[in-house]
Amino acid sequence: MCRLHKSLYGLKQVSRQWFSKFTKVVLAAVFLQSKADYSLFIKRDGISLTILLIYVDDILITGNNIESIKGLKQFLHTRFRIKDLGDLKLFLSIEIARSKKGIYISQRKYALEIIKDSGYLGAKLVEFPMEECRLSNTGELLKDPCIYQRLVGQLIYLTITRPDITYSVHILSRFMHEPRQPHMVAALRVVRYLKSAPGQGLLLHSNNSLHLSAFCDSDWAGCPVTRRSTTGLLCIPWKFFNFMEKQKAKDSFLIKCGS
């Protein structure tokens, strides 16, 4: 019989013990733990704001005060042996690029991996991810539902930087327990849509205002399974809205969410 004095890597409770220890250290530095995401810690000191996000042993630090960030790094280094990897470029398959216009985030490499795993590198492109929603619990059951479940799971994580596929993935995730052939065809259509622009992402403008123009609409009992209505929501930054008015652009984008 052995008495364990220290958690060892590989044991069941190691991750829990590590996060518990890290939380105590960060809270001792006058950080507040977010109730929405326990891995997020925030510290405010006047106009200074420092934000810390941890995933296992990867730590992301940002804020508006360089001295506070340097002090936090030094504090963590005295408690743990950390390695500073410099400016953020890649975090959990999210690619970050900076320019004078702002910060651009995308998941290009991750999207290409999804396309490659699906065997659709040479597939024909489509202009929109999903046709009018008519998916229901009809059709032949898939022999191996794990393929569909894995694909939809990958697409769910991709919606972090691809809000244009959010509604389509939301519909596909309804059939995770008993996927059928029409569901798989619809999921692969999303993959073909991603192939047209795998590097598409979100641009966080450096001088953009926080004013939004929002438009919404809904149908009536549009879901063939639950007979529930679907609400559509379109949010456009005011700066982008003025640009669209000047250019008289014909194209727009739509983000939908099931209600």
Residue-wise DSSP of 160-189: TT-GGGHHHHHHHGGGSSS-BHHHHHHHHH
Q: What domain range is 38 assigned to?
A: 14-86
Q: What is the pLDDT of residue 32?
A: 94
Q: What is the pLDDT of residue 251?
A: 39
Q: What is the pLDDT of residue 256?
A: 35
Last residue of a domain, one of 43, 66, 86: 86
Nearest Cα residue to 161 out of 230, 208, 114: 114
Q: Are residues 29 and 80 in the same domain?
A: yes
Q: Are residues 24 and 128 in the same domain?
A: no
Q: Report the alpha-carbon distance of residue 48 to residue 51 in Å, rounded.
A: 10
How wide is the angle at C-alpha 95 spanned by C-alphas 239 and 67, nearest 5°?
80
Q: Are residues 81 and 121 in the same domain?
A: no
State which residues of the chain have pLDDT below 70. 1-2, 4-9, 133, 210, 236-259
Please count the structural domains in the chain. Answer: 2
Nearest Cα residue to 192 out of 121, 135, 252: 121
Q: What is the pLDDT of residue 226?
A: 78
Whether the CB-CB separation of 91 and 58 falls below 8 Å is answered with yes
Flag whether 106 is in a domain.
Answer: no
Whether the CB-CB separation of 140 and 180 falls below 8 Å is answered with yes
Q: What is the pLDDT of residue 52?
A: 94
Backbone angles phi, psi at 209, to 5 degrees: -85, 170
**How buried is 35 (Cβ within 10 angstroms: 0-12 exposed, 13-18 middle, 19+ buried)?**
exposed
Q: Report the alpha-carbon distance of residue 82 to residue 3 in Å, rounded.
A: 29
Q: What is the pLDDT of residue 8?
A: 66
Q: Report the alpha-carbon distance of residue 24 to residue 27 in Å, rounded.
A: 5
Q: Are residues 138 and 254 in the same domain?
A: yes
Q: Report the alpha-carbon distance of residue 259 to residue 251 in Å, rounded.
A: 26
Q: What is the pLDDT of residue 228?
A: 80
Q: Are residues 20 and 122 in the same domain?
A: no
Q: Are residues 18 and 78 in the same domain?
A: yes
SS3 of 159, please? coil
Q: Are residues 27 and 137 in the same domain?
A: no
Helix (H) or strand (E) holding 52: strand 48-55
Q: Are residues 122 and 24 in the same domain?
A: no
Q: Report the alpha-carbon distance of residue 83 to residue 86 in Å, rounded.
A: 9
Residue 33 is classified by DSSP as E
